[in-house]
């Protein structure tokens, strides 16, 4: 398989370098699309450092502390039960659908300013979407964690949830992405789920009706090593691999990191970062953010996670109170948190 990918990449590279192709790419050129997707996979594989994931037996429960932060309960309930949540999601994808034709026809990449490394000319369009809480919901998982008072997000337990294949697609997202594919766009699902979840994730996406290639090559998992030296949740290198072969026309996410890298900063710094990266000209046109009040990089910096990944619910709540009222001391340090260990949730 890897040899075929490499061969396809070399053939495509040679064709481009020899300048044999002088006409605009069309979506009907299926062979060309196959070669381009293979080249994206090859590009991402080049960043990949194999890591052995230990999937737990799924018979265990993460540590519990018996504390239920009120703010977390409201957020999970809103995502899981409120019609308002459905309406927001439908509104976003409806608005995106009205922008679709223009976005697919427009020149240039819909990428952050610092990620415009690859030319866009003569490339077929692609749409990059995050998975969790962008096109599928994990509401039942989040509610389970809350109900059982888990101390903190547990990645192994999330793997077990993934294996259950109970995540449900947002119908409006299915419609938008199927429409985009019918109009010639290739959809890339760029997720921070780990590669050991490939089978249940691909099967879930297919079951929900999302356009997934027969070989699943357009589902891109979190990778390690190479330019991703943080282990590695940054999606920029993967976006760049897509942009090396496709013109990125639209992006969808529930986290700022689905659009730009280096988002693990304080709120005012994140806002400045987004502005610097040209976000204001993209929102609602080519970039679409889905609501997620339950988890994300926006929250991680405020919760002041402990290095051991076991931040009690009472501390999480107190830390958030310190952001709401700067006069209140932080639970851990006595001051507003300036740093944090890492994001502990899927993106």
Which of 266, 327, 342 is CA-nearest to residue 298?
A: 266
- Whether the bond between 232 and the residue before it is cis, its omega within 30 degrees of 0, is yes
By C-beta, is 132 or 343 nearer to Mg ion?
Answer: 132
Task: Provide, rounded to whole angstroms, the least separation between the CB of residue 142 and Mg ion.
Answer: 12
Contact flag: residue 130 with Mg ion (CB under 5 A) = yes
Q: Which position has the token pair 């799924």?
A: 58
Contact flag: residue 72 with Mg ion (CB under 5 A) = no
Contact flag: residue 132 with Mg ion (CB under 5 A) = yes
Task: Provide, rounded to whole angstroms, the least separation between the CB of residue 51 and Mg ion.
Answer: 21
Q: Which residues contact 275 (CB under 8 A, 6 or more apart)?
A: none
Q: Which residue lies nearest Mg ion, judged by its C-beta?
A: 132
By C-beta, is 132 or 139 nearer to Mg ion?
Answer: 132
Task: Provide, rounded to whole angstroms, the least separation between the CB of residue 314 and Mg ion.
Answer: 27
Which strand (E) or helix (H) includes residue 251?
strand 247-253
Stretch that binds Mg ion, among 58-66, 127-135, 154-162, 225-233 (CB under 5 A): 127-135
Say how far apart CA 107 and CA 317 lie, in whole Å. 46
Identified binder of Mg ion from the candidate list 254, 277, 330, 343, rule CB under 5 A: 254
Contact (Cβ atoms closer than 8 angstroms) between residue 249 and residue 67: no
Contact (Cβ atoms closer than 8 angstroms) between residue 187 and residue 249: no
Stretch that binds Mg ion, among 6-14, 68-76, 128-136, 279-287 (CB under 5 A): 128-136
Contact flag: residue 137 with Mg ion (CB under 5 A) = no
Q: Could you tell me how many residues of this chain bind Mg ion (CB under 5 A)?
A: 6
Instruction: For residue 185, give the DSSP letter.
Output: P
Q: Which residues contact 307 (CB under 8 A, 6 or more apart)?
A: 341
Which of 199, 80, 88, 181 is CA-nearest to residue 129?
A: 181
Kindly write out the interface string for residues 196-235 of this chain, putting x where it contacts Mg ion by CB under 5 A and - elsewhere.
----------------------------------------
Task: Provide, rounded to whole angstroms, the least separation between the CB of residue 249 and Mg ion.
Answer: 20
Task: Provide, rounded to whole angstroms, the least separation between the CB of residue 47 and Mg ion.
Answer: 20
Q: Which position has the token pair 């026309």?
A: 249
Q: Which two tokens stand for residue 273?
A: 């970062």
Task: Provide, rounded to whole angstroms, the least separation between the CB of residue 8 and Mg ion.
Answer: 30
Stretch that binds Mg ion, among 30-38, 47-55, 122-130, 225-233 (CB under 5 A): 122-130
Stretch that binds Mg ion, among 158-166, 230-238, 251-259, 318-326 (CB under 5 A): 251-259
Any idea what the Cα angle at residue 244 is, between residues 132 and 284, rounded to 5°?
50
By C-beta, is 139 or 254 nearer to Mg ion?
Answer: 254
Task: Provide, rounded to whole angstroms, the least separation between the CB of residue 218 and Mg ion.
Answer: 17
**Other Cβ atoms within 10 Å of 207 Cβ, number:** 12
Residues in the chain: 347
Task: Provide, rounded to whole angstroms, the least separation between the CB of residue 160 and Mg ion.
Answer: 18
Strand 247-253 and strand 125-129: the pairing is parallel
Stretch that binds Mg ion, among 5-13, 139-147, 204-212, 252-260 (CB under 5 A): 252-260
Contact flag: residue 133 with Mg ion (CB under 5 A) = yes
**SS3 call for 4:** helix
Task: Provide, rounded to whole angstroms, the least separation between the CB of residue 296 and Mg ion.
Answer: 7
Contact flag: residue 261 with Mg ion (CB under 5 A) = no
Stretch that binds Mg ion, among 24-32, 126-134, 266-274, 313-321 (CB under 5 A): 126-134
Contact (Cβ atoms closer than 8 angstroms) between residue 300 and residue 264: yes
Contact (Cβ atoms closer than 8 angstroms) between residue 219 and residue 189: yes
CA dihedral 204, 205, 206, 209 (to 10 degrees): 120
Q: For binding to Mg ion (CB under 5 A), which residues are involved?
A: 130, 132-134, 254, 347
């Amino acid at each position: 398989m890897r040899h075929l990918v490499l061969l396809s990449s070399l053939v495509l590279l040679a064709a481009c370098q020899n300048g044999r192709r002088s006409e605009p790419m069309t979506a009907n050129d299926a062979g060309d699309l196959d070669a381009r997707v293979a080249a994206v996979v090859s590009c991402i594989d080049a960043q990949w450092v194999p890591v052995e994931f230990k999937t737990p037996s799924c018979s265990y429960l993460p540590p519990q502390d018996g504390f239920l932060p009120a703010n977390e309960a409201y957020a999970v309930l809103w995502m899981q039960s409120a019609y308002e949540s459905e309406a927001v999601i439908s509104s976003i994808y409806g608005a995106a659908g009205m922008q679709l034709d223009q976005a697919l026809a427009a020149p240039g990449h819909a990428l952050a300013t610092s990620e415009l490394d690859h030319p866009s000319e003569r490339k077929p369009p692609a749409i990059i979407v995050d998975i969790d809480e962008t096109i599928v919901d994990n509401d039942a998982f989040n509610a389970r964690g809350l109900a059982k008072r888990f101390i903190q997000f547990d990645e192994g337990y999330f793997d077990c949830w993934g294996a259950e294949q109970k995540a449900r697609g947002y119908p409006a997202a299915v419609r938008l992405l199927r429409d985009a594919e019918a109009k010639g766009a290739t959809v890339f699902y760029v997720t921070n789920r780990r590669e050991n979840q490939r089978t249940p994730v691909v099967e879930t996406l297919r079951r929900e009706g999302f356009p997934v290639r027969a070989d699943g090559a357009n589902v891109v998992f979190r990778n390690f090593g190479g330019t991703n030296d943080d282990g590695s949740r940054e999606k920029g290198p993967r976006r760049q691999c897509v942009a090396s072969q496709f013109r990125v026309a639209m992006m969808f996410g529930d986290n700022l990191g689905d659009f730009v890298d280096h988002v693990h900063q304080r709120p005012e710094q994140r806002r400045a970062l987004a502005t610097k990266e040209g976000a204001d000209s993209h929102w609602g046109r080519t970039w679409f953010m889905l609501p997620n009040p339950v988890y994300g990089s926006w929250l991680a910096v405020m919760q002041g996670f402990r290095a051991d990944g076991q931040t009690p619910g009472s501390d999480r709540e107190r830390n958030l109170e310190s952001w709401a009222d700067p006069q209140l001391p932080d639970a851990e340090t006595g001051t507003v948190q300036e740093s944090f260990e890492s994001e502990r949730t899927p993106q």
